[in-house]
Amino acid sequence: MSKTERLFQLLNLLRNRRRAITASALAEAMEVSERTVYRDIQSLMAMGVPVEGEAGIGYRLQPDFQLPPLMFTNEELVALALGAKMVRSWGDQSLGSSAMAALEKIQAALPTRLNQHLEEIPLLAPPINPHPQFSVHSEKLREAIRERRVLNMEYVKESGEESQRLVQPLGMVFWGKVWTLLSWCELRDAYRNFRVDRIISLSNTQQFFDIGPEKSLQHYLNTWCEVD
């Protein structure tokens, strides 16, 4: 977690409490040391945030402190809230947690009227993942896509046939029911689309790949590709 993220989280924790909270409780909530909390409190105060502290009692914000309101329409809030719930339901644990944390940050900066509207939105996305295997591999796949790292993948086709592949992961797509990995398959020397829930195992290699006009996510999306 970056310092900016920590400061925002710390500010939210202070804003959501009417009474003072100890450095120990803040450190536990943020999963950092008390020393880090003390430094971050000083950073907030240096930025002009009115944090009050008293030895043995803790810290709190002055009651009249308000962040500038975010300018969202009701429909924009509905879209943001529903989107976060869908990511939580159909993404992996890390993505889901990040989506809900982002929503909490938005809520913390909203005026009371809009915040109440956000809480009363009657649109749900139940956290039901029909393919738990996706969550097993998703974080590693996203990391490999970001680093452009070749992956060693054990995969099973719809027919039940198993195969070993070296793939260059380019992106992931959610099709409403399943996630697929968009990649360049070194075995086929061509684009291939793999269902993530059919991946048996993944391991990183020490190889990296480059993208170009004839091999990239955008080029792939403009090309019909065979599904293994």
> Helix or strand or coil: residue 51?
strand
Q: What is the pLDDT of residues 72-114, one digit of tens each?
A: 777 888 888 889 888 888 888 888 888 888 888 777 767 677 7
Tell me the DSSP string of 163-185. EEEEEEEEEEEE-SS-EEEEEEE
| CA proximity to 155, closest of 210, 192, 209 | 192
Reported as a single tens digit per residue, the pLDDT across 23-75 is: 999 999 899 999 999 999 998 888 888 888 877 789 988 876 766 555 577 78
Which of the given ranges, 22-26, 58-62, 157-161, 164-168, has the highest pLDDT on average? Answer: 164-168
> Does the domain made of 3-61 have the CATH classification 1.10.10.10?
yes
Model pTM greater than 0.75? no
The mean pLDDT of the chain is 84
Q: Which pLDDT score is estimated for 66? A: 64
Q: Is 205 a residue whose pLDDT tops 80?
A: yes
Tens of pLDDT, residue by residue over 3-20, are 877 888 888 888 877 788
Diameter over CA atoms, the chain: 67
Q: For domain 133-221, is the CATH number 2.30.30? A: yes
Cβ contacts of residue 42 below 8 Å, gap of 6+? none
**Given this model, what pLDDT does residue 156 score?**
94
Q: Give yes or no for a contact between 77 and 114, defined as CB atoms under 8 angstroms apart.
A: yes
**C-alpha–C-alpha distance, residues 136 and 148, integer Å:** 20
Domain ranges of the chain: 3-61, 74-119, 133-221
Asked if the model's pLDDT at residue 227 lies above 60, the reply is no
In sequence order, the 6+-apart residues with CB closer than 8 A to the CB of 188 are none
Q: Is 220:190 a contact under the CB 8 Å cutoff?
A: no
